[in-house]
Amino acid sequence: YVLTQPPSVSVAPGKTARITCGGNNIGSKSVHWYQQKPGQAPVLVIYYDSDRPSGIPERFSGSNSGDTATLTISRVEAGDEADYYCQVWDSSSDVVFGGGTKLTVL
Amino acid sequence: EVQLVESGGGLVKPGGSLRLSCAATGFTFSNAWMSWVRQAPGKGLEWVGRIKSKTDGGTTDYAAPVKGRFTISRDDSKNTLYLQMNSLKTEDTAVYYCTTVQGYTYASQWGQGTMVTVSS
């Protein structure tokens, strides 16, 4: 199972960033999202498509339908600049990560 | 507070072996499913494998690139997770992270990682 993410997304501060994750009928799977800042370990920011772990700002939200899952970051801040990875579990491939998207805050 | 601290990384020659450890605190380790995820320099995340809790059978699953070469184990008396890596290849060079696994499917907490370099 293959997950496809855009290599990069750019957004101005205060605007909304949308990072997509494409996969065949991904809407039938649970999608999880991780944020990784330079030199740091990944951090879970969204699980089960749209749930937020404690401590993650409400500005982070997720959706999943059809062949595309989306991580949405509202009111983007400079501190949101990071790599973002989507991930699913597939019965044939087990755990699969997308290739990652570098979010640049202009 | 959950803490996962990996150790054991280093430089090893192709064909060599290395054992990584992950010391866990702040949660009931024996009840937790655990996994290893790696990241080659400048690349994305790659799942390595998982181990279930003993109450759920204690079984392991591995990604195709490491199956037959890597072994995940746990010592619940020491709250420690292990990754035994044999027949190492240059393409195994990566930072290795240990994680807790929730809902069978996602990594809820991550360690800081340990670097493994396979080079002659």
pLDDT digits (tens, 9 = 90+) for B57-86: 999 999 999 999 999 999 999 999 999 999
Measure the N-to-C terminal CA separation of chain A; round to a whole number of Å: 33
pLDDT number for residue B104: 82
pLDDT number for residue A6: 98
pLDDT number for residue A93: 83
- Write the DSSP symbol of residue B62: E
Partner residue facing B106 (CB), from A47, A98, A100? A47
CB contact under 8 A, B45 and A100: yes
Coil, strand or helix at B8: coil
- Cβ contacts below 8 Å, chain A against chain B, sum to 59
CB contact under 8 A, B44 and A96: no
Q: Is the pLDDT of residue A75 over 90?
A: yes
- State how far the Cα of B94 lies from the Cα of A103, in Å rounded to an integer: 23
Residues of chain B under the 70 pLDDT cut: none
Coil, strand or helix at B90: helix
**Most A CBs within 10 Å, among B5, B35, B105, to test the A interface:** B105
**Most A CBs within 10 Å, among B106, B112, B115, to test the A interface:** B106
pLDDT number for residue B103: 84
